[in-house]
Amino acid sequence: MIDKLFGSALRLKLMKFFVFNPAQVFDVKIIARKVEARLPAVKKEIRILLAAKLIKVKVYKNEKGRKQKGVILDNNFGHVEALKEFLMKVSPLSETQISDKLSKAGRLKFATLSGVFINNPDCRVDLLIVGDKLKKNVLSRVISNFESELGSEIKYAFFETADFEYRRSFGDKLVRDILEYPHKIIIDKLGISE
């Protein structure tokens, strides 16, 4: 429904991408790769967002030191904060979808969302996953898909159950920071929320 309101699912993805990465200049090819879309379709949608003045063209130096044109969020767009808040509330990923997709990576025992998932950008980690026989390559693909849907890079940590329990027992700082600050538990077979 929301993608129809904004014209297309790709336009919605691109809006999220720019709003949640406001200070970065991106080459169009990199954008296409990050949002998992074809380059011609991305170029078409970028022209529309340029005309709407949500984004602007900016010259920057690439990794080889050469000047190159890229696109960046236009901070003069008057409704960036309202748009950001709206886009956070209409996330395309429900907690059930997240846990279902993560379950493909192994036998999950615990998962919690924070950071970009709960509109708290100051968190060290956006997603904590605990389980057994976790497959790194599957987990990486699932996270990449989440990043494409959310339009933002996801900082995540994953542990085998025994390692997580050991870290928790001696008060590991990362684990403590995740569990003592705002978060939302979506899988709990370890009884942590009790």
Written as six digits, the tokens of 98 are: 């997240």
Domains of the chain: 2-89 (1.10.10.10), 95-188 (no CATH)
The pLDDT mean for the chain works out to 88
Q: Given the structure tokens 């279902």, which residue do they identify?
A: 100
Pair 91, 20: CB distance under 8 Å:
no
Nearest CA to 148 among 27, 7, 21? 21
| Strands 107-113 and 67-73, sheet pairing | unpaired
Percent of the chain whose pLDDT exceeds 90: 49
pLDDT exceeds cutoff 60 at 41? yes
pLDDT at residue 44, rounded to an integer: 95
Cα-Cα end-to-end distance for the chain: 37
Pair 187, 111: CB distance under 8 Å:
yes
Pair 71, 56: CB distance under 8 Å:
yes
pLDDT at residue 92, rounded to an integer: 63
Query: Which residue has better confidence, 118 or 18?
Result: 18
pLDDT at residue 8, rounded to an integer: 83
Query: Which residue has better confidence, 93 or 28?
Result: 28
Confidence of residue 22 (pLDDT cuts 50, 70, 90): confident
pLDDT at residue 80, rounded to an integer: 86
Confidence of residue 1 (pLDDT cuts 50, 70, 90): very low
pLDDT digit string (tens) for 129-167? 999 999 999 999 999 888 887 777 899 999 999 999 999
pLDDT digit string (tens) for 53-91? 999 999 988 888 889 999 999 989 888 888 887 877 776
Query: Which residue has better confidence, 87 or 3?
Result: 87
Where is 56: in which H helix or E strand? strand 55-61
